[in-house]
Amino acid sequence: MSSPVSTAALSSPVPSTVLDAAVAAWPLWRGRREAGLTAAQGNLALVETRWLRADESVTPEDALAGQPETVTATSLTRSNLDTGAPEHGIRLWDAASDAIRAFDHVDVFPFTPDWVIEATFTPVADTRTIPFEHLRDNVGATRELVVPGDITFHRDGVDYTLSAFDDDGTLLLVFADATNGVSTYASGRFLFVQRTDDPSRVILDFNQAFVPPCGYSIHYNCPLPPRQNRFTGEISAGEKNPVFRDGYSVH
């Protein structure tokens, strides 16, 4: 089993072109993030996830019966933890949800150049999966997610290996660090891995680490960081926690 990752040495510089691009991208990313959170089907808009019985058939159109005009519906599918059989569900999104109305902003760390990291991506078989626990599943239960390669980097004599899963063609890193539950979201944070023109090289810009959807609605079931993605030190970069007005709380 892999050991938790130490953050003591993750401060090696990246090429100036990479850092310049990260600096320029950061305010744009922040703007897109907050706009996306409050969109009609953004994280703050999710008000219900309903899993259907095997003998039940409900379309998104059916689910909208009696709902206000601000509500939209979508369908989704997951695998049953015990049998692997597909389970079908309905999600309701409200563009005027209590969470959207109460939302103020997301606290973030200042941009930190040391947390822009170049790493190597080594592809593996497309069928390789790694078990991930999920926030709202039974304790110890896992879901197998496709991890199509290893993300590695070397700093001060130490080799690091992280596992990012395939999220509709994008690599999503689910990680934890010592800030969780102190200054950042308790269950960990997410980071999209940036591809480069070189398929063997990726960028981990932790300034773009973000609060997972579960931090905005109880109706998500987010993956939790596997052991190899748990940093022992603090990653003081990226988003901290959402801030709401008038004492509103998601949980």
> Which of these ranges, 24-28, 37-41, 247-251, has the smallest mean pLDDT?
247-251
Amino acid identity of 19? L
Alpha-carbon distance 105 to 211, whole Å?
Answer: 12
Question: Region 42-61: what's the mean pLDDT?
Answer: 96
Structure confidence at residue 13 as a pLDDT band (50, 70, 90): low
Structure confidence at residue 138 as a pLDDT band (50, 70, 90): confident
pLDDT in tens, 72-108: 999 999 999 888 899 999 999 999 999 999 999 999 9
pTM over 0.75: yes
Q: What was the pLDDT predicted at 1?
A: 40
**CB 51 within 8 Å of CB 87:** yes
CA proximity to 59, closest of 38, 43, 76: 76
CA proximity to 60, closest of 83, 41, 79: 41
pLDDT in tens, 205-237: 999 999 999 999 999 999 999 999 999 889 999
